[in-house]
Homo-oligomer: A and B are copies of this chain.
Amino acid sequence: MDLYGRDFICTQDWKVEELMAALELAAQMKRDRFSDRWTSILKYKTFLMFFYNPSVRTRISFEAAATELGGHSQFMTPSAGRFKTQTKAGETIEDAAQVMARYVAGIGIRILEDKVPYYGAGDEMLLEYAKWSNAPIINMADDRFHPCQALADVMGWAEWYGEGPGRPDFEALRGKKFLLSWGSGALARSWCSVQAALLIASRLGMQVTMAHPEGYDLDPEVIQWTKQNCAANQTDFEVVHDPDSGYDGAHIVYSRNWVSAAAYQDGALQKQAEIEKAMAYTGWTANGERMSKTDNAIFTHPMPVDRGSEVTDEVASGPRSAVYDIAENRLHVQKAVMALTMGL
């Protein structure tokens, strides 16, 4: 298996054994974080981080990942450049990507729904960069996918159902019930993390239940892939439209706000309208009572957590909350992906 030079834009683009190679390496890296097996992999090399949207966790974890691999991450925003747009002269992605690839070992890009005119336009931009760049393109979250979050999620679940930090048991996840529930709140959040979670959970053999209000369907293509993944693993996929029933017997609970399927109008995300629409659905909150109906489920969330809306403090800070471990895993999975795609 040779992942050198490969882009990582969506987990569906990689074979299961390729994803597992990254996850197993991430676990090794977590067990022995500063081993000289990894600290020279990107020695003197540059990883370019291109943030169309700002970020704290993704920024810190990717920049630290490069440092821990012996290399250096550059932080860049598009405001630094004169890029061509539909209405403004400037540089094409064709030119920008070909030049950047001369300087750097890899390029990470983040672009979310509020920076693009229609759903999918951010992911298309990553594919355009990938077309022209010889250096691997790593998706640091776009409007469709967040594959590094997906790897961190599943690694965390497998640690909790395995032997703890750095000792995940991915087989233990097979057949477990994964509940992805829409969460209340005023944050009008992206589809990328929850879609990435659906894809990885179904890929690794979990039962999948989605719970959301009517109108909060996700990308039909992602749902289709999720169903195919479940079918291949002979697991169930179901959707419910109430905030309670999905918890029954769940092993992993993911409660997170996201925008409705009608979020884009007139060439832009209607964030304020989405916030108002979401206000009609209070009470979609992971709380102790709901968690008590699960099979001693762990609570998972990509953070930042909107406490009080998506989840109560009791659950988010409780003994079955995996959120900090999963956040930490971002570092380890990103180191693994960078090492495999950019290290020789």
Contacts and interface: CB of A to CB of B under 8 A. Distances in A.
A305 B99 contact: no
A303 B75 CA distance: 21
A240 to B, nearest CB: 26
A67 B46 contact: yes
**Quick one: copies of this chain in the complex?**
3
A309 B91 CA distance: 12
A67 B76 contact: no
A80 B99 contact: no
Contacts of A323: 95
A328 B134 CA distance: 13
Interface in A33-52: 34, 39, 43-46, 48
Nearest to A186: B89
Contact of A99 (B79, B89, B307, B324): B324
A98 B56 contact: no
Nearest to A54: B80
Contacts of A327: 99, 102
A81 B56 contact: yes
A277 interface: no
Interface string A294-329: 000000000111110100000001000001100110
A116 interface: no
Contacts of A91: 56, 303-305
Contacts of A59: 74, 76, 80
A14 interface: no
A45 B307 CA distance: 31
Interface residues of A, number: 56
Contacts of A305: 91, 95
A176 to B, nearest CB: 25
A51 to B, nearest CB: 8
A72 B72 contact: yes
B44 A103 contact: no
Given A39-B44, A55-B80, A64-B103, 16 more contacts: A39-B43, A44-B70, A46-B60, A48-B60, A54-B80, A54-B81, A56-B81, A59-B74, A63-B72, A82-B187, A89-B185, A89-B306, A89-B309, A91-B305, A98-B324, A103-B328
Interface of A: 34, 39, 43-46, 48, 54-57, 59-61, 63-64, 67-68, 70-72, 74-76, 79-82, 89-92, 94-96, 98-100, 102-104, 185-187, 303-307, 309, 317, 323-324, 327-328, 331
Closest 6 pairs between A and B when the two form their complex, measured CB to CB = A91-B304, A102-B328, A56-B81, A54-B80, A67-B72, A99-B327
